[in-house]
Each structure stands twice: as C-alpha cells, then as structure tokens.
Chains A and B, each alone.
Chain A
Amino acid sequence: MTTVRIVITLKPGVLDAQGQAVHQGLRALGYETISGVRVGKCIEITVPDQTARDEIDAMCERFLANPLIEEWWIERDQDRDGTGRSRVPVLPRSQGS
C-alpha cells in the first residue's frame, strides 16, 4: 500500500474568501509583506501500490474536488524527499506575546 496526498485548491481567479480572511489575520500579526493567501485542503488516501494516476484523477473529478471551481495535484509517498514536513520547530503559542 502507498499513501497518496491530494492537494485541492480553488482555481486561480475563483474568489477565496477563506484565504482573504487568513491574509487579514497574518497582516494583523505584522506580516505586512504577504501579497496573497489561498487556502485549500489536503486529503491523504491509502491505496494499492499499482493504483493508476488516472484512477486517482477520476476520484478527484467525481467527488473529492468540484472541477467547476477547484483544481488538484497529487503527490505519492515515494515522491517525497522527506524535507517537505514542518521544518520549523513548533513554538508554544504564548512565546513572544
């Protein structure tokens, strides 16, 4: 079995109200240089190793994404180099406040 990660975002040009709200939140924290935020979702599915890309695309097209407003990309376990996970140590939320 292998884990496949599907990242779904709104298509460019489709209004992302959630992204705008997060953008405002980041600005409120002082991150003034950020010029855009888009929020999507990540779905990890565990499938047999031989599962074809076409089949995963079909799952996205039929259910996991709404092709009218969303697009997706697919990342397999073996594609990862291990550097993609959180690189910054998690700081306690109280720090600095």
Chain B
Amino acid sequence: MRFGVVIFPASNCDRDCVHVLRTVLGQEVEEVWHEEQSLDGLDAVVLPGGFAYGDYLRAGAVAARAPVMAAVRAFAQVGGPVLGICNGFQILLEAGMLPGAMLRNAVLRFRCTMVHVRVESTQTPFTRTLREGQVLQMPIAHGEGNYFAPGSLLSTIEEAGQIVLRYCDAGGRVNHGANPNGSVRNVAGVRNPAGNVVGLMPHPERASEDVLGSGDGRLLFESVIMWLETRKRSLVGA
C-alpha cells in the first residue's frame, strides 16, 4: 500500500513514521510537504507528531490551515484513512475533522512516559483487527494532551462510540491513576463518525519494534494495511 506522511515545518516524528511503514512493514511511503495540494495515488495518510509551525497560537492551529489540509479533508471525505499522532491529533482537532480540543496537561508538566491504553472502538481501519478491551502499551510525549470536550459534545461522541482509546492500567482498568494528563474520561484517542479519521496522543510509531520496549503500535499500522488490502481486493473483484 502507498502511505503519505505529511511533513509540516517542525514536524519531528515524520522520519519515525516513514521508518516503521517503509522498513518495518515494507510499505511504499511518500513524504508529503505541507504545501502540497494533492494526495493523488495515496491509500492512507499519517499526520505525525512534532510542533508544527512551532505550535504558535495553539497546538495545531496554524497547521490546520496549511494548504495540504484541504487535500487531507477531501481525502477523508471520500473515505480515505487518516491517522493523526500526537501533534497530528491536535491538528485534526483544530481542523474540525475530529471533535474536541486539547488543553495543557493538568499535571503542569510535559509527560514523556510509557502508558497503557484500552481499545474502545474497533470501528476504524486502524483498530479493526484488534478487539474491544485489548490493552496496548505505547509511549506518550506531550505537554498539551489533556483532551477536553464540553459535556453535551462528550455525551454525543461517547454514545456514538467515537472514543477509540482510553488510558488504563496494565490490567485494562480505566481509572484516575492511569490518566497521565487529565484527559476527560481518560480519552487517549477519538474517531470521526465514519471511523476513517482517527487521532491519538500515544505514539504507535515509537512502539512498533520489540527492541524499543513494545511492538503494540505496529498493530494499528498492520490493521490499516489489512483493511486497505481487503478493500482493494473487493474493488478488483467487483
């Protein structure tokens, strides 16, 4: 499959994403500069972590208005899978492609640590091959990962099953002690109503090789690859 990894000025996890997709998983990868206006020929798009445009104004706010984002929006509207990781998640929130907003961590600190997250929704290309309740171990590294949605919006997205991941302990229990940043209801990742756009704060690309302490992040990439292959087969067969 052909992946696009979008690079904004001050993205800093783009090379990690390219490495995992290209070297670990053997996929074709195109590095997409933020001024690009077309995503033709791509099967999936990743918005990597970093500090796009220096996080000026608000994290992700300026990047969300970059030229490439119109193309990402159009790509998502026709069902293309889009994954936003950390800063990429913040960009998708600021672009209005995912519900909610990010606040500074409630703990007043940048959190850089390994966490556990529980899979809450398998209705996305990135979690389709996982099972609900499955616990994954991945690292986080952010100062603004305190997910927030006002009460009515939160109810809407919870009822619609749009929460994809929640911070939990090693046993899969979602509790206050397992919440690293104050996120409302321990939310670590959400999806759009259609399920093809997903944002998450943990870094799957930093947990895709066992030598790095966890290979769980690879499961998300393998899931979307399998989803794309299935879709391709059904299109060819039709």
Contacts and interface: CB of A to CB of B under 8 A. Distances in A.
B100 A68 contact: yes
B108 A68 contact: no
A66 B101 contact: yes
B99 to A, nearest CB: 9
Given A63-B61, A68-B100, A14 B148 contact: yes
A21 B182 CA distance: 15
A17 B103 contact: yes
A63 B100 CA distance: 15
Contacts, number: 36
A15 interface: yes
A66 B108 contact: no
Contact of A66 (B65, B94, B106, B107): B94
A18 interface: yes
Interface in B76-106: 94, 100-101, 103-106
Given A66-B61, A66-B94, A18 B104 contact: yes
A49 B129 CA distance: 58
B57 interface: yes
Contact of A15 (B61, B65, B103): B103
Nearest to B60: A66
B150 interface: yes
Interface string B35-73: 000000000000000000000011001000100000000
Interface of B: 57-58, 61, 65, 94, 100-101, 103-108, 146, 148-150, 153, 182
Interface string A12-27: 0011011011000000
A58 interface: no
19 contacts: A14-B103, A15-B103, A15-B106, A15-B146, A17-B103, A17-B104, A17-B105, A17-B107, A17-B146, A17-B182, A20-B108, A21-B108, A66-B58, A66-B94, A66-B101, A68-B100, A68-B149, A68-B150, A68-B153
A30 B94 CA distance: 39
A64 interface: yes
A69 B90 CA distance: 14
A69 B101 contact: yes
By CB atoms of chain B within 10 A, which of A10, A15, A20, A64 has the most? Answer: A15
B108 A69 contact: no
Contacts of B58: 66
Nearest to A41: B57
Contacts of B61: 63, 66
A15 B108 contact: no
A68 B106 contact: no
Contacts of B101: 66, 68-69
B150 A15 contact: no
Contacts of A10: 103
Contacts of A63: 57, 61, 65
Given A17-B108, A21-B108, A63-B57, 14 more contacts: A10-B103, A14-B103, A15-B106, A15-B146, A15-B182, A17-B105, A17-B146, A18-B104, A20-B108, A63-B65, A64-B57, A66-B61, A68-B101, A69-B101
